[in-house]
Amino acid sequence: MEGQLAEFLGGSALELGASHGALGHGHWRYGKDEDGIGWLVLDREDASVNTISDTVLRELDAHLDRIEFNLPRVLVLRSSKARGFAMGADIDALAEMEAEATETLLTEAHRVLDRLEGLSCPTVAVVHGAALGAGFELTLACDYRIAIEGASFGLPEVRLGLHPGLGGTRRLPELIEPTAAMQMMLTGSTAHTKKARDLGIADLVVQERHVRAAVAAIRDGEVEQRGRGLMARAFALSSARTLAATRMRRETEKAAPSKHYPAPHALIDIWEKHGNDPDAMQKAEIASFAQLLQTETSGNLIRAFFLRRTLKNAGGARDDIARVHVVGAGAMGAEIAAWAAMQGKHVTVSDPDEEALGGMIRRAAEICKDEHKDALETRDTLDRLMPDPGEYGVAQADLVIEAGPEKPELKAEIFEGLARRMKPGAILATNTSSLQLADFLEHVPDKARFAGLHFFNPVPKVPLIEVVSHDATGAETRERLLSFCTAIDRLPVAVTDYPGFLVNRALMPYLLEALLMMDEGIAKERIDKAAKEFGMPMGPVTLADQVGLDICLDVAESLSKSLQTGIAEIPALLREKVEAGDLGRKTGRGFYDWSDGTPKPDTSESTGEDLTDRLILPLLNACATCLREGVVGTADEADAAMIFATGFAPFRGGPLHYAGTRGHDAIRARLDEFAAAHGPRFKPDAYWRDVKPT
């Protein structure tokens, strides 16, 4: 809705019953209707979303005193925040806690939830938006859950190296089919409205306008509980659980090896051992949670969570870019355009090749499918995405993104062609990955409104965008671009105009070292295995194939041209592949055969000499150089960029954090050893000597 009508009708107000206008302070408000419905509403002070903290639970405890004393006929729990029920535990508070304090706190928290569960009146959680983690666990202590259309439920604790800690490990397998419950907790996946109803998490799905009637129906005993399934009984037998647990362990090991990710394995252990004994389960959950919270994995995954938040917040809320024009419908241009359109931007795309524009539409339809967009969302996305061979969109665009081939003359020509047609105030950004912005300044219409927006391939899977400023890029331009990135649900990091910017500058020495090892006769499978054991999502040789060997060569050449030191000679192997036209995934063959999808190299043989440091340290060293030279603002941003662009083992907290854990002196000594053995490309950066880890 727009304008006055929207203002008058006020979107959709939440039904808050008698709590509306109820007095009181703190995070909760409570009021009881004449018809016997008690409304207990969570509305965290000084926050736009709800999280569950220890104060929230203590105040809930105090409200339960009053509620028990004057029992309503039915108690409703809900949030008054527009954005949803609750996002989970207060992670900032959690991150600081010692093991013993954690146990004490959790035991107390469990007592409060048990008390809620034990109320003698029916209790109903009304959920709009997301109920995640501790928020979901709070609803699990209620007798009924009403989902408002669009609601979602999930226990994503494994992503923080934890498992549920507020009774979720016990209550969810009691409520729904136990293996489905375990699946949700092991993968941290979210059940959206329909799935939540099918699973038995939600007893009713209603529109907001019918909440009061639905609650009254529960009060009057007209609604049956959907969960409380009989399946739980099948797993009361420990032999049945052992059978299921064995399968779960096998699956989990593939996605999250226990060596690096202990939490899901701990969860399976608890369930297998105590699945038929709620009290023992509760105790084990508390102890295990407290223990996991102290692990390095959890500490680093929580760190990654904070880093994500930091990047997200780097872009302010003031996004003023509504119309985007993309020049070039190649693989990157097409995905950038499709993604932006899916996130609500009006996007036009030009390309001299109309077939490429057609391919872009097909790709956009695929992305909508992969992102689970429904028929209407897909239609609207495709309606917002206009192939524009006539380049009509240029004159209206707030932002023009150039995603043409990596040929300097061609880019210069494109920039000059745009100059006369872009509207005043519009930003011109290039998606170049191997060229420097400074080389184009005389060709662009407005230096202050020229910057880099470096997306990564594939755009829907890699959340990071480098926002690149050259010396004359205006601060306002940078801010607007950061906000734009946040608005299209990507993570921006501000970097300067440096060869390879940050991510490719740091990644390339790692990839080149891998290729040099291959040149030396080391099997590519062994190299990839070493990196995967370190925790990389894929090995460097596979990654080079995925990025595209032509692009690797472009970036490597541009780096070796512009940097005096620190970069390996480009291995002949790479040139040969590119000359032969074997460019990796996109041509079906690179170092690996991609004709049947992502290769799964056989990595069963033992690795022999440890290759890990020789691969990883060049990457760390390059990050140090970038930080020292001011390419990126802080070590945290560098770590975040490498985690969210390359998947750098998140449980290690990022390259510089990892270096800090090992000690800068140790890193320097190891680099010196490699320099002596393999050459000056390993020369330790001055950073290791000058900066102490924090």
Partner 1 sequence: MNGREVFLVDGARTPFLRARGKRGPFTPVDLAVQCGRPLLARQPVAPDAYDMVILGCVNVIADEMNPARVAALRLGMGEAMVAFSVQINCGSGMQSIDTAFRYIREGRGDLILAGGTEALSHAPMILRDEAVDWLAGMQRSSGPLATAQSALQIRPSHLRPVIGLERGLTDPITDLSMGQTAEVLAHHFGITRQAADAYAIESHRRLAAAQEDGTLADEVLPAFDREGNVYRRDDGVRPESNMKKLAGLKPVFEKPYGQVTAGNASQVTDGACWCILASAEAVETHNLRPLARIVDSDWAALDPQVMGLGPVLSVTPLLQRQKLGAEDIDLWEINEAFAAQVLACLKAWQDEAFCRDVLGLDAPLGVIPRDRLNVHGGAIALGHPVGTSGNRIVLHLARAMAKRGGKRGIATECIGGGQGGAMLLEVA
Q: Which residues are catalytic?
A: 433, 454, 466, 504
Phi, psi of 470 (to 5 degrees): -95, -175
In 3D, which of 350, 304, 333, 340 has the Cα closest to residue 319? Answer: 340
| Nearer of residues 389 and 581 to partner 1, judged by Cβ | 389
Minimum distance between the CB of residue 11 and partner 1, rounded to whole angstroms? 14
Stretch that binds partner 1, among 56-64, 374-382, 467-475, 680-688 (CB under 8 A): 374-382
| Nearer of residues 198 and 383 to partner 1, judged by Cβ | 383
Candidates 66, 209, 362, 461: give the one binding partner 1 (CB under 8 A): 362
Q: Is 374 in the site for partner 1 (CB under 8 A)?
A: no
Q: Is 354 in the site for partner 1 (CB under 8 A)?
A: yes
CA dihedral angle for residue 102, residue 108, residue 110, residue 116, rounded to 10 degrees? -150
What x/- string results for residues 293 through 332 when contact with partner 1 is judged by CB under 8 A?
A: ----------------------------------------
Q: Are the beta carbons of 281 and 169 closer than 8 angstroms?
A: yes
| Nearer of residues 353 and 629 to partner 1, judged by Cβ | 353
> What is the pairing mode between strands 152-154 and 190-192?
antiparallel
| Side chain identity, residue 342 | M
In 396-464, alpha helices (H) = 408-419
Candidates 112, 314, 336, 361: give the one binding partner 1 (CB under 8 A): 361
Minimum distance between the CB of residue 476 and partner 1, rounded to whole angstroms? 24
Q: Is 417 in the site for partner 1 (CB under 8 A)?
A: no
Candidates 384, 505, 529, 589: give the one binding partner 1 (CB under 8 A): 384
| Side chain identity, residue 266 | A
Q: Is 276 in the site for partner 1 (CB under 8 A)?
A: no
For residue 1, how many other CB atoms are within 10 A of its CB?
10
Minimum distance between the CB of residue 378 and partner 1, rounded to whole angstroms? 9
Find the binding residues for partner 1 in span 542-581 (CB under 8 A).
none
In 3D, which of 661, 656, 657 has the Cα closest to residue 685? Answer: 656
Count the residues of the shown chain that bind partner 1, applying the rule CB under 8 A.
28
Q: Is 355 in the site for partner 1 (CB under 8 A)?
A: yes
Q: Are the beta carbons of 516 and 621 closer than 8 angstroms?
A: no
In 3D, which of 150, 235, 232, 154 has the Cα closest to residue 187? Answer: 154
Find the binding residues for partner 1 in span 328-347 (CB under 8 A).
346
C-alpha 263/C-alpha 158 separation (Å) is 6
Minimum distance between the CB of residue 396 and partner 1, rounded to whole angstroms? 7
Q: Are the beta carbons of 655 and 648 closer than 8 angstroms?
A: yes
Minimum distance between the CB of residue 374 and partner 1, rounded to whole angstroms? 15
Q: Which helix (H) or strand (E) holds 191?
A: strand 190-192
Give the CA angle between residues 457, 463, 469 to the nearest 5°. 85
| Nearer of residues 318 and 379 to partner 1, judged by Cβ | 379
Minimum distance between the CB of residue 674 and partner 1, rounded to whole angstroms? 48
Q: Is 428 in the site for partner 1 (CB under 8 A)?
A: no
Candidates 396, 560, 587, 603: give the one binding partner 1 (CB under 8 A): 396
Q: What is the 3-state composition of the chain as percent helix, strand, coil, each rounded to the nearest 5?
A: 55, 15, 35
In 458-548, alpha helices (H) = 475-487, 503-519, 524-534, 540-547
| Nearer of residues 371 and 557 to partner 1, judged by Cβ | 371
Question: What angle do the packed helices 278-293 and 262-274 form, to 10 degrees?
Answer: 160
| Nearer of residues 183 and 396 to partner 1, judged by Cβ | 396
Minimum distance between the CB of residue 362 and partner 1, rounded to whole angstroms? 3
570: which DSSP letter? P
| Nearer of residues 24 and 389 to partner 1, judged by Cβ | 389
Q: Is 97 in the site for partner 1 (CB under 8 A)?
A: no
Q: How far is CA 687 from CA 304, 514, 613, 627, in A?
A: 23, 24, 18, 8
Candidates 42, 89, 386, 583: give the one binding partner 1 (CB under 8 A): 386
Candidates 164, 387, 601, 684: give the one binding partner 1 (CB under 8 A): 387
C-alpha 425/C-alpha 451 separation (Å) is 13
**Which residues pair with residue 603 across a beta bridge?**
none
Q: Are the beta carbons of 556 and 492 closer than 8 angstroms?
A: no
Minimum distance between the CB of residue 487 and partner 1, rounded to whole angstroms? 18
In 520-647, alpha helices (H) = 524-534, 540-547, 549-562, 572-580, 612-628, 635-646
Stretch that binds partner 1, among 280-288, 357-365, 468-476, 547-555 (CB under 8 A): 357-365
| Nearer of residues 290 and 329 to partner 1, judged by Cβ | 329
Candidates 83, 247, 379, 407: give the one binding partner 1 (CB under 8 A): 379
Q: Is 150 in the site for partner 1 (CB under 8 A)?
A: no
Candidates 99, 121, 287, 382: give the one binding partner 1 (CB under 8 A): 382
C-alpha 25/C-alpha 22 separation (Å) is 10
> Cα dihedral sign for 270, 274, 278, 284?
negative
Q: Is 383 in the site for partner 1 (CB under 8 A)?
A: yes
Q: Which helix (H) or strand (E) holds 84?
A: strand 84-86
Q: Are the beta carbons of 493 and 640 closer than 8 angstroms?
A: yes
Q: Is 122 in the site for partner 1 (CB under 8 A)?
A: no
C-alpha 497/C-alpha 447 separation (Å) is 13
Q: Is 7 in the site for partner 1 (CB under 8 A)?
A: no
Q: Is 1 in the site for partner 1 (CB under 8 A)?
A: yes
| Nearer of residues 348 and 430 to partner 1, judged by Cβ | 348
| Nearer of residues 394 and 451 to partner 1, judged by Cβ | 394
What x/- string results for residues 575 through 614 when contact with partner 1 is judged by CB under 8 A?
A: ----------------------------------------
Q: Is 499 in the site for partner 1 (CB under 8 A)?
A: no
Stretch that binds partner 1, among 273-281, 389-397, 471-479, 603-611 (CB under 8 A): 389-397
Q: Is 287 in the site for partner 1 (CB under 8 A)?
A: no
Produce one character per residue of 265-295: b if its CB has 16 or more CB atoms within 10 Å, e if not.
bbbbebbbbbbbeeeebbbbbbbbbbbbbeb
Minimum distance between the CB of residue 490 and partner 1, rounded to whole angstroms? 23
Residues of this chain that bind partner 1 (CB under 8 A): 1-3, 346, 348, 354-355, 357-363, 365, 379-380, 382-384, 386-390, 392-393, 396
